């Protein structure tokens, strides 16, 4: 029985194994290393996973779910056709598909895995990941944090004892910075920082805006399908620019054809603003552990977006160090997970102090500040600073601002902004005040525990009266019975048969091209798609195989020629 490693990503997931010598990526049923973290349902109620589902994001947006990792550990529900799925269910489908790929490829059962999770995942989010693994029939030997996995992929765990690394991860929609320390054979994440709304998507959007400006399309209404087609073209254009000097594309919008061309220089100008947003989280992480770039021994870049030369240059300049990039940045985390599994098997296990031991965000309350003699509300007062070791309990004092103020409302926020408008509101609590002059004191106690539960207790100093609020950032994990029940339910749902997946993928590509193209090209793709469907109906395997090769060639030609 082989042990496997899994990077369960927001945009893409991968599975790896240890071949006795090194960690290798296992290709999926389409021969690709990356499996898009996308799940869909077809018209017959079959589940579609990965590439096929991603193809249908554009043609069947209501039957397709993506970026659900953002909502792991939350109550969010996805309605896909007649089903309702939680982020745990959707993740389970991805894990199951990766497990099947591994078993097909290795020819043996794979029931045990090391799975990576973001360093900032709290206990609830980690538990949700474990629940998804259980639903997928996987036993999890270990959850490892993504930056630690990346550091292991680079062999940094074997380096000098007492070294410090920075792992910078720019994925599809998130930017994560971690500072790690190796000391006495233990890897510890010392600080994390980042921006949950900065990633590859933003770079694609920059190209879209420039396309719209260039073609004077501001104010023109663009259909959902056309926008998605434009998004895809812009993303391809972005990826091209990581390799070539100039990239161009054509697209039809409202029956009119528009063209666009972008070179590297202009692209880097367009990206200046977004790139500068990467600076703050990096500096913040350094400040949190009180070190300077000189104290960092190695910098590792991971995440598909760090393939962009502009990002590598920017980080190199900012930190005065050439970052490690020789492992494919979208594979590094997955590679590290299988190495971790092999280390465990050899009992050379590297311990990791996981970061649920710190509070990832600053927790505080709204206060009024006196600015230039006048009182202004909307300011944020931190109570528990980010990266504080948990469990933690802190008290701050606040005061009434008016004589005989009748009540005090405590608004609880999480975030790093000086103004609460830039932070996330978690809850509120109101206390009635006894009569008295302004300046009456209240004690505000915040207690944050390992399960990411925040307890807020307000005590009125004069009377000793208290009021309590409990905020569960992410609601409960699943009980054994719930998992059992869910397992039965999911087992009844048909996952599209794997041996036919390749053909389904071709059909989905045909359908998508049909929607993107117009005129004769569209008619042509429509015809070859129908022809292929007819051959599929014959169920004569050798004819299907031959037709699939031809159909695939036609689709490739069209995608290549017209840059879809």
Compare residues 174 and 451 and give the one whose CB is closer to ligand ADP: 174
Q: What is the contact surface with Mg ion in residues (CB under 5 A)?
A: 9, 171
Q: Which residue is nearest to ligand ADP (CB)?
A: 200
Minimal distance, residue 352 CB to ligand ADP, in Å: 19
Give the CB-side neighbour count of residue 6, counting CA atoms within 13 A.
Answer: 38
Q: Is 51 in the site for ligand ADP (CB under 6 A)?
A: no
- With contacts defined by CB under 6 A, name the span among 3-11, 353-361, 502-510, 522-530 that binds ligand ADP: 3-11
Contact between 5 and ligand ADP by CB under 6 A: the answer reads: no
Going across the sheet that includes 424-432, the strands are 374-384, 363-371, 407-414, 424-432
Q: How, if at all, do strands 139-145 and 112-117 pair?
A: parallel
Instruction: Tell me, by CB under 6 A, how many residues bind ligand ADP.
Output: 19
The least CB distance from residue 89 to Mg ion, in Å, is 21
The least distance separating ligand ADP from the CB of residue 305, rounded to whole angstroms, comes to 4
3-class DSSP string for 85-137: ECHHHHHHHHHHHHHHHHHHHHCCCCCEEEEEECCCCCHHHHHHHHHHHHHCC
Q: Which of 87, 194, 304, 510 binds ligand ADP (CB under 6 A)?
A: 304
Question: Among positive and negative, which fits the CA dihedral 314, 121, 163, 326?
Answer: negative
Q: Using CB distances below 5 to 8 A depending on partner kind, what does residue 304 bind out of Mg ion, ligand ADP, none?
A: ligand ADP
How far apart are CB 210 and ligand ADP at their closest, in Å? 16
Query: Applying CB under 6 A, does 176 fall inside the site for ligand ADP?
Result: no
Q: Is 307 in the site for ligand ADP (CB under 6 A)?
A: yes
**Minimum distance, C-beta of residue 333 to Mg ion, in the bound complex (Å):** 6
What's the number of CA atoms in the CB half-sphere (13 Å) around residue 229? 26
Residue 16 sits in the site that holds ligand ADP (CB under 6 A): no
Pick one of 330, 331, 352, 516: the residue that binds ligand ADP (CB under 6 A).
Answer: 330
Q: Which residues contact 525 (CB under 8 A, 6 or more apart)?
A: 510, 513, 514, 517, 554, 558
Cβ contacts of residue 366 below 8 Å, gap of 6+?
377, 378, 379, 380, 381, 410, 411, 413, 420
- Which active-site residues does the annotation give? 7, 69, 146, 169
Question: How big is the chain by its Cα radius of gyration, in Å?
Answer: 26
HEC sequence for 175-231: EEEEEEEEECCEEEEEEEEEECCCCHHHHHHHHHHHHHHHCCCCCCCCCHHHHHHHH
Please report how close the Cβ of residue 172 comes to ligand ADP at its closest, in angstroms. Answer: 4
For residues 548 and 506, is the Cβ–Cβ distance under 8 A? yes
State the binding partner of 330 from ligand ADP, Mg ion, none, CB within 5 to 8 A by kind.
ligand ADP
360 in contact with ligand ADP (CB under 6 A)? no
User: Residue 505 in 3-state DSSP?
Assistant: helix
How far is residue 145's CA from residue 93's CA, in Å, rounded to a whole number? 21
Residue 305 interacting with ligand ADP (CB under 6 A): yes
Label residue 378 left, alpha or beta by phi (over 0 means left) and psi (-120 to 50 means alpha): left
The 193-222 site mask, x for binding ligand ADP (CB under 6 A), equals: -------xx---------------------
Q: Which is nearer to ligand ADP, 308 or 444 (CB)?
A: 308
- Residue numbers 279-298 binding ligand ADP by CB under 6 A: none
Which residues contact ligand ADP (rule: CB under 6 A)?
A: 9-12, 171-173, 200-201, 235, 238-239, 242, 303-305, 307-308, 330
């Amino acid at each position: 029985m082989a042990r496997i490693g899994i990077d369960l990503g927001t945009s893409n997931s991968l599975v790896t194994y240890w071949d006795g010598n090194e960690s290798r990526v296992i290709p999926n049923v389409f021969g690709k290393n990356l499996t898009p973290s996308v799940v869909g349902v077809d018209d017959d109620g079959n589940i579609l996973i990965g590439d096929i589902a991603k193809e249908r994001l554009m043609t069947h947006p209501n039957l397709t779910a993506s970026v659900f990792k953002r909502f792991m550990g939350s109550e969010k529900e996805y309605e896909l056709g007649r089903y309702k799925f939680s982020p745990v269910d959707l993740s389970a489908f991805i894990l199951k598909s990766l497990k099947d790929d591994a078993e097909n490829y290795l020819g043996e059962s794979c029931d045990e895995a090391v799975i990576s999770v973001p360093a900032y995942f709290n206990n609830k989010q980690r538990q949700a990941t474990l629940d998804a693994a259980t639903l997928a029939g996987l036993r999890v030997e270990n959850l490892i944090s993504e930056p630690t996995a990346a550091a292991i992929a680079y062999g940094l765990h074997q380096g000098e004892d007492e070294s410090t690394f920075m792992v910078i991860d720019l994925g599809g929609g998130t930017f994560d910075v971690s500072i790690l320390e190796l000391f006495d054979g233990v890897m510890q994440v010392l600080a994390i920082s980042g921006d949950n709304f900065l990633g590859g998507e933003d770079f694609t959007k920059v190209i879209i805006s420039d396309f719209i400006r260039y073609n004077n399309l501001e104010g023109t209404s663009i259909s959902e399908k056309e926008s998605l087609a434009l998004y895809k073209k812009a993303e391809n254009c972005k990826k091209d620019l990581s390799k070539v000097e100039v990239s161009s594309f054509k697209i039809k919008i409202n029956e009119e054809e528009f063209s666009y061309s972008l070179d590297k220089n202009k692209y880097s100008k367009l990206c200046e603003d977004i790139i500068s947003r990467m600076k703050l989280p990096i500096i913040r992480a350094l400040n949190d552990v009180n070190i300077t770039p000189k104290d960092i021994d190695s910098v590792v870049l991971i995440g598909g977006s760090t393939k962009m030369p502009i990002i590598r240059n920017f980080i190199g300049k900012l930190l005065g160090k050439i970052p490690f990039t020789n492992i494919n940045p979208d594979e590094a985390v997955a590679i590290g997970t299988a190495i971790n599994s092999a280390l465990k098997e050899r009992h050379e296990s590297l311990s990791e102090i996981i970061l649920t031991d710190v509070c990832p965000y600053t927790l505080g309350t709204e206060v009024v500040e006196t600015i230039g003699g006048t009182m202004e509300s909307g300011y944020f007062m931190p109570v528990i600073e980010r990266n504080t070791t948990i469990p933690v309990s802190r008290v701050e004092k606040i005061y009434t601002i008016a004589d005989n103020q009748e009540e005090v409302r405590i608004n609880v926020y999480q975030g790093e902004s000086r103004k609460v408008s830039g932070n996330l509101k978690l809850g509120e609590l109101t206390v009635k005040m006894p009569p008295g002059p302004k300046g009456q004191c209240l004690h505000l106690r915040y207690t944050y525990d390992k399960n990411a539960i925040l307890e807020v207790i307000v005590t009125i100093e004069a009377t000793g009266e208290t009021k309590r609020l409990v905020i569960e950032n992410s609601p409960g994990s699943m009980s054994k019975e719930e998992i059992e029940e869910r397992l039965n339910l999911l087992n009844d749902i048909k996952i599209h048969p794997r041996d036919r997946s390749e053909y389904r993928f071709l059909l989905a590509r045909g359908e998508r091209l049909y929607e993107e193209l117009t005129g004769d090209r569209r008619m042509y793709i429509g015809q070859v798609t129908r022809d292929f469907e007819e051959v599929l109906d014959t169920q004569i395997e050798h004819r299907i195989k031959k037709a699939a090769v031809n159909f695939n060639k036609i689709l490739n030609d069209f995608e290549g020629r017209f840059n879809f």
